Amino acid sequence: MNDITLTINGISQEFNRRTIFRDLTFTISSGESLALTGKNGSGKSTLIKILSGLLTPTKGTVAYTLKGTKVLPDDIKSAIGLVSPYLQLYDEFTGLENLMILSSIRSNGSLTKERAEALLDRFGLAARRHDFVRGYSSGMKQRLKYAFALLHAPGVLLLDEPTSNLDAEGIEIVQQVVLEQGKAGILILATNDEGEAKWCSRRFQVA
């Protein structure tokens, strides 16, 4: 899904009568990348959840358009990839089984085994593809989350704490993913790391 535009207009979020952020507005289109920055507790992760459809904002609107035509929320979910600390994997299955199972949920089982194995290889997990995820390190699980997020070549990729638990090799792979997605679609990442923020062509302060 190409030529996507995301517009948030006047987004505000409150929890238990506490305002997390107020009146956020920006627009981003395919071919752009955006770093969400801000101090701890400013609501970066909350905003990522809103953009992915996991949360509904207290106020304001989130709108996706494809070639100028508004896309319904249920339809845009198939075009979104998400990597975040709150994304859960199935510890009782192998890495390869995780991808195949999640594909059957997300894309009606259209993922081929060859595609899944190619993604596992890209993220350095090919040799461990038949191992149960419960035996994976935190960094390996983060790599597997990226493989899952890229299963369907998403038009929109949302990253929350993108290099969490990754070693230098993993960070280099993620940086390449960010650069590629920023050219082919929409890339939005939430970070407190200045180096990660510099990977993006634009920056937005969440406050």
Residue 2 has pLDDT above 80, yes or no: no
Q: Which two tokens stand for residue 61?
A: 């609107």
The mean per-residue pLDDT over the stretch 109-116 comes to: 79
Q: How far apart are CA 139 and CA 163, in angstroms?
A: 9
Q: Which two tokens stand for residue 28?
A: 């981003």
The mean per-residue pLDDT over the stretch 110-135 comes to: 93
Residue 110 is predicted with a pLDDT of 65
The mean per-residue pLDDT over the stretch 70-94 comes to: 92
Coil, strand or helix: which one is 191?
A: coil
Identify the structural domains of the chain with CATH numbers, from first to last. 4-205 (3.40.50.300)
Q: Which two tokens stand for residue 83?
A: 């990597």
| CB of 36 closer than 8 Å to CB of 192 | no
The mean per-residue pLDDT over the stretch 19-42 comes to: 96
Residue 119 is predicted with a pLDDT of 96
Q: How far apart are CA 144 and CA 136, in angstroms?
A: 10
Q: Which two tokens stand for residue 41?
A: 């507790």
Residue 9 has pLDDT above 60, yes or no: yes
Residue 111 has pLDDT above 90, yes or no: no
Check residue 161 and give left, alpha or beta (phi > 0: left; psi -120 to 50: alpha).
left
The mean per-residue pLDDT over the stretch 153-178 comes to: 97
Residue 129 has pLDDT above 80, yes or no: yes
Residue 62 is predicted with a pLDDT of 97
Q: How far apart are CA 22 and CA 129, in angstroms?
A: 44
The mean per-residue pLDDT over the stretch 122-138 comes to: 98
Confidence of residue 34 (pLDDT cuts 50, 70, 90): very high
Confidence of residue 44 (pLDDT cuts 50, 70, 90): very high
Q: How far apart are CA 72 and CA 160, in angstroms?
A: 24
Which of 11-15, 105-109, 116-120 shows the lowest mean pLDDT across its residues? 105-109
Q: What is the mean pLDDT of the chain?
A: 94
Residue 107 is predicted with a pLDDT of 58
As beta bridge partners, residue 202 has 34
Residue 77 is predicted with a pLDDT of 86
Q: ∠ at Cα 117 (112, 118), nearest 5°?
A: 95
CB atoms within 10 A of CB 160: 23
Residue 104 is predicted with a pLDDT of 79
Please tell me the total number of residues recorded for the chain in this structure: 207
Residue partners of 128: CB distance under 8 A and separation at least 6 = 95, 136, 140
Q: Around 106, how many Cα atoms within 13 Å sit in the side-chain half-sphere?
A: 21
Q: How far apart are CA 49 and CA 201, in angstroms?
A: 22
Residue 47 is predicted with a pLDDT of 98
Please, what is the end-to-end C-alpha distance for the chain in angstroms?
Answer: 31
Residue 51 has pLDDT above 80, yes or no: yes
One-letter amino acid for residue 165 of the chain = N
